[in-house]
Amino acid sequence: MVFDTEQDYIQALEIITEPLRDKLKKEGCSVRVGSTGAWYVQSAEIMETFARPLWGLVPLWYKGGGDDELKNIYLNGLIEGTDPKSDGYWGECGDCDQRYVEMAAVAYALLYVPEIVWEPMSAAQRSDFKRWLWQINEHKVCDSNWRFFRVLVNIALKHLGEEYSQSRLDEDLSRIDEFYLGGGWYMDGPQHQKDYYISMAIHFYSLIYSCFENDSYAEKYRNRAALFANDFIYWFADGGAALPYGRSLTYRFAQGAFWSAYLMAGIDGMDKSVIKGVLSRHLSDWLTAPIFDNGGVLTIGYKYPNLLMAEHYNAPGSPYWALKTFAVLAVASDDEFWSAECAPMPKLEESRLMREADMLINRCGGEVFAYPGGTHDNLGCGQLTAKYLKFAYSTRFGFNVKYSGLSADEAAGDNMLIFDIGGVVCERRYNFSFSLSKDKLVINWSPLKGIRVRTELVPDGCSHIRTHYIESDFECIAYDGGFAVPDGETGCCKTADGASAAAHGEAGGCTVISHSGGDGIIVNASPNTNLIYPRTVIPAVRYRIPRGSSVIVTEVSVSL
């Protein structure tokens, strides 16, 4: 699908939301689009499915678009969901309640289209609505981007002329400032992850704030977004794909939401034709992928339906956070953005050190290759080692998640050094420290007690060399894996010869070479472990690791 005109964006939004219309008509505020579960209660799941489409619908309504039927469905759903006497009542909330996440979408609607979702309510209905929203001020929210959910609720109440909590606003805005690292980058609270989530959460909400408030925070948020844009553009390949790295990737084209908020807030700095090109190619890349089920509903997964890569907080309606990217529809119809050309990517550095993001990024053949220091804590959300602790990530090859630790095939260790210890396969788990320079990454890490590794990684264009200094308390086998290569219907060419292994297919290829006595092998990764391709193989080198000290060196290169 082409994204050139305002109507192209409207049409895409209507196509994506149309399959929800009949469900919303029948089920109102208690809509369900699937039968899988998440770690929060069902009343929160159904509210999520109802609320998240608002991220796309609100900017459309703000411009006077959309039809009255869907607007009335949402008005009646908000009335029913917040009425404690209603069968559809969304329920009472507690600390760190998932329903606070969805309150942000409701606040978004209250800010931009109160004439649709607030003014038609009776005094009694508004009272119920306010009481239900006020729960976010009475309870703890997670110490992360969740702080912004409470900020948005309070500024929405403020702009409606209703009671709001200035003390909560002060507390949350002050705390969010403590997450700021410099260079436009934040960390997401004490979790320390720095990934695309920063763009579609903290920056996205901060720019909404700046559209309605005119204070020192608003000014800071706008300046920080302008700085962040200079780094974040490096996360997008020439063809539109964004870097798959980190958590919450099932929100898919929410990876582009920052650019929409940037435009909505009227930030200066980045050429609008460049942003239009990035957004257009990004959405086109996504909407040609099989990300919908046979009823047209967005699925959990990345480039295809995939529960294996999901987090514990991914319910059936969760993927509709992708609609944040349609915030661009709030941009005035006569804005130059809509008439601008879709420009190609600007000239970017081939190698960029993003110190605040803890990574090196190389661009090669129009694709993005990232080498992160790695962050990981005890936030057990699902597959976090695969999402943060590989040596390299790319827009072309994606990455694999672990199926099990029973074999190298099921461990699917692309861009990892994994250890087979008596039939149990262990990957990098503990990150002790790392250092970054313009041309090198050094990581001190461990897969388990008894093995410690210092890895020195030196990128060079489309290749990199890994040198691993290993201290092991026992003999074992190690596999140093390259990029996962798709093994599709037409297959791919796979070879393992002496100290090297290679796989080449329609999407490109990868070659690994041992410079220290290893044996080249092909790892047949379990199906559905890669985020982009259902079937992949991983060229790797197998090493015998002795007790004591050893050094192994592997070269990894790609062809595009």
pLDDT at 434 over 80: yes
Task: Kindly state whether residues 276 and 425 are assigned to the same domain.
Answer: no
Task: Kindly state whether residues 335 and 421 are assigned to the same domain.
Answer: no
Note whether residue 96 is domain-resident: yes
Mean pLDDT of 397-402: 97
**Domain termination residue (choose one: 274, 308, 339):** 339
Note whether residue 481 is domain-resident: yes
Mean pLDDT of 42-67: 95
Note whether residue 346 is domain-resident: no
pLDDT at 490 over 90: no
Hey, what are 253's tokens?
Answer: 């084209």
Number of domains in the chain: 2
Q: Can you give the pLDDT at residue 307? A: 97
**Spatial distance between the Cα atoms of 273 and 262, rounded to a whole number of angstroms:** 13
Note whether residue 105 is domain-resident: yes
pLDDT at 377 over 70: no
pLDDT-derived band at 41, boundaries 50, 70, 90: confident
Cα angle 222, 228, 232 (rounded to 5 degrees) comes to 140
533-542 residue pLDDT tens: 999 999 999 9
- CA nearest neighbour of 95 among 141, 134, 53: 141
Task: Kindly state whether residues 265 and 186 are assigned to the same domain.
Answer: yes
234-285 residue pLDDT tens: 999 999 999 999 999 999 999 999 999 999 999 999 999 999 999 999 999 9
**Domain termination residue (choose one: 317, 339, 361):** 339
Task: Kindly state whether residues 48 and 164 are assigned to the same domain.
Answer: yes
Q: Can you give the pLDDT at residue 247? A: 92
Residue in the structure block whose two tokens are 């700046």? 210
161-194 residue pLDDT tens: 999 999 999 999 999 999 999 999 999 988 778 8
Note whether residue 276 is domain-resident: yes
Task: Kindly state whether residues 287 and 385 are assigned to the same domain.
Answer: no
283-297 residue pLDDT tens: 999 999 999 999 999
Task: Kindly state whether residues 327 and 381 are assigned to the same domain.
Answer: no
pLDDT at 71 over 70: yes
**Domain termination residue (choose one: 279, 314, 339):** 339
Note whether residue 449 is domain-resident: yes
Q: Which secondary-structure segment (H or E) carries 448?
A: strand 440-448
Task: Give the domain range for residue 154.
Answer: 6-339
Q: Which secondary-structure segment (H or E) carries 6?
A: helix 6-27
Q: Can you give the pLDDT at residue 337? A: 97
CATH classification at residue 398: 2.70.98.70
DSSP character string of 165-208? -HHHHHHHHHHHHHTEEETTEE--GGG---STHIIIIIIHHHHH
CA distances from 512 to 235, 515, 535, 545 (A): 25, 10, 19, 18
520-557 residue pLDDT tens: 999 999 999 999 999 999 999 999 999 999 999 999 99
Note whether residue 344 is domain-resident: no
Note whether residue 275 is domain-resident: yes
Task: Kindly state whether residues 506 and 381 are assigned to the same domain.
Answer: yes
Q: The pTM is what?
A: 0.96
Task: Kindly state whether residues 387 and 303 are assigned to the same domain.
Answer: no
Task: Kindly state whether residues 50 and 155 are assigned to the same domain.
Answer: yes
CATH classification at residue 50: 1.50.10.10
Going by C-beta distance under 8 Å and a sequence separation of 6 or more, which residues neighbour residue 403?
A: 308, 410, 411, 412, 526, 529
Task: Kindly state whether residues 392 and 331 are assigned to the same domain.
Answer: no
Q: Within its chain, how far is the Cα of 176 from the centroid? A: 20
Task: Kindly state whether residues 361 and 325 are assigned to the same domain.
Answer: no
Task: Kindly state whether residues 212 and 319 are assigned to the same domain.
Answer: yes
